[in-house]
Each structure stands twice: as C-alpha cells, then as structure tokens.
Amino acid sequence: MSSKKAMDAFWPRDKEMIREANLVFDMSPGMNSEGVKHELGYARYNLWKPVVRVFPTGKLPIKSSVAWYEDDIVVDSLIEAVEYSLRVHGTKFKRIRWRLKMLNRSLLKWIWYQVCEFK
C-alpha cells in the first residue's frame, strides 16, 4: 500500500514507462493489485501493446480463464516468456508487423464501437 503522496509521484511515471516499453510483462498475475490491473489494461486496451503473463511454475490459470483469450501469451516459465518475446517481438520490424496486424484486426471495429457509444 502506497501513500497518496507516493502514488502522485509514481503513477504518472508508471504510465510513462508503459508508453516507452515495447511489450509488458506481468510477473505476478496471481497477486496483482488494482494498480497492476489498470496498468495492464492501459497497456493492452489503450496502447495496444503485447502483454506477456508469467505465472509461477505449475500455477497456470484454468483453460477458461480470460488470460488465455486476452493476453498474448500465458506461461509459467520466464525462459519461455523471453523466448516468445524475442521470437515474436524481438526486432523493430517484428513489432511493426505485429502492430499492423493488430490495427488491421481491431481498428475499424474499435471505431465502430466508439461511434455506437453515442446512442
């Protein structure tokens, strides 16, 4: 638990670091705080950044968990997470290709959903 004064200092920097990152690792998905939940949402749903979830060994969520649907990869091994990150997002070209696929798949739908919110 952080004080209000500490959060006033840390929260803007946390968001800035997420904007600077190429992808976001969640290393404590079983213990996430409100802040972590919002940071992951900011990264994934606002900035459309890849999210890598690393659960403790042998503690992967059940197959019906939303993590399997929403996150880019769900693993219980840091080595597997790093291997995936390098293989899929390890160069600027790969990150651009990933983002273009994401935009192609999602942008028009996102715009449509935003327009529909005016009803």
- Sign of the torsion angle spanned by Cα atoms 64, 69, 71, 77: positive
Judged against a pLDDT cut of 80, whether residue 60 lies above it is answered with yes
Second-level CATH architecture of 4-116: 3-Layer(aba) Sandwich (3.40)
pLDDT at 35: 86
pLDDT at 85: 97
Enter the tokens of residue 98: 């990933």
b/e string for 46-58 if b means 16 or more Cβ within 10 A? eeebbbbbbbeee
pLDDT digit string, tens, across residues 70-105: 999 999 999 999 999 999 999 999 999 999 999 999
Model confidence, pTM: 0.85
Judged against a pLDDT cut of 90, whether residue 107 lies above it is answered with yes
Query: Which has more pLDDT, 29 or 116?
Result: 116
Helix, strand, coil distribution of the chain in percent, nearest 5: 65, 10, 30
Domain boundaries, the chain: 4-116
pLDDT at 17: 95
pLDDT digit string, tens, across residues 9-25: 888 899 999 999 999 99
